Structure 1
């Protein structure tokens, strides 16, 4: 049985072969709370298939979204996860249209300048519709190349823990999943650097400035 864990996901965990992400828009903070509580209750009650290691829920700090994130090993198949990955239709969440999970693989990770052991508390998440796998790879590598030209290879951003660049299984989407010690540091970074970089290589995206806080994690086992 899964259990609630204080352990955050390690995005670049070498034992994770695939991640899953669903971002759902909600009307307001009340709906956000209802959605979050319904999802967690469902995760606790549903059967977990082999290979599903953990599920993590995040709430956007603007009260407009919930993000469900899972980590899987190579044993996991989407068909096996039909139960736990089917979103709840309880009375508390009946008016919310949950978005399906999209599978991703990690392409590149960039470490931040935060001290070893600093706990991230703010998580900017953004999804970009790039087109295909080659374009996604080139877009990520180009974005990071321009960042080095602008900020230097050390990337000494206050409060930065990590930036993780993932590509969807079909190659179409790029997910940028960042970790910061505070929302203030994350917001400053987005305003001063990332917006300029993204404007230089524009693609259709979710709201790139959306920042999330961790709500709860469930794990099959702590490792």
Structure 2
């Protein structure tokens, strides 16, 4: 009888452990963020420039990524790519963050070091409770994305020339834009009055999901 009792207790313990693991797995799956269905299959290739982890109030942790992708993309593809980058970063993080922030720019080298190349930004709130955990409104995805078409080769060249030569056209700490536009116009063969620096309209499309 003692042997049977021990075997029964052992079976109960095993069943209990299996059930606990099953419950833990279910809760873990429920806690994992998922992509909005409207962006399924739209993500394009991207590359990560750098990452950073910041600790916020209420002991909340945010993972921040700067990424880049081709501007030959629609606004939906840009949004979907940021979503995919956020999911990839979350899944790969050893210590799971409470939120993931993505800043995405045009991968053309003409935009190196300047903000006008930013095509989108996104924040994933894993638990739907905002940055500090005190706004539980069920919003998991906060997305802003530009809908501009890809800049022309001349627009890229103007950006590159502006970025490279602006330091040579400083007067009393300010950029002499008239002189700089005249210089750039001569380089690209267009009137100075037609020279303008392309910039993405970052908040053209916004999603809260």
Fold equivalence (TM over 0.5)? no
| Structure holding more helix per residue | 2
What TM-score comes out, normalization by structure 1 length?
0.20
Which entry has the higher C-alpha Rg, 1 or 2?
Answer: 2
Structure with more strand by fraction: 1
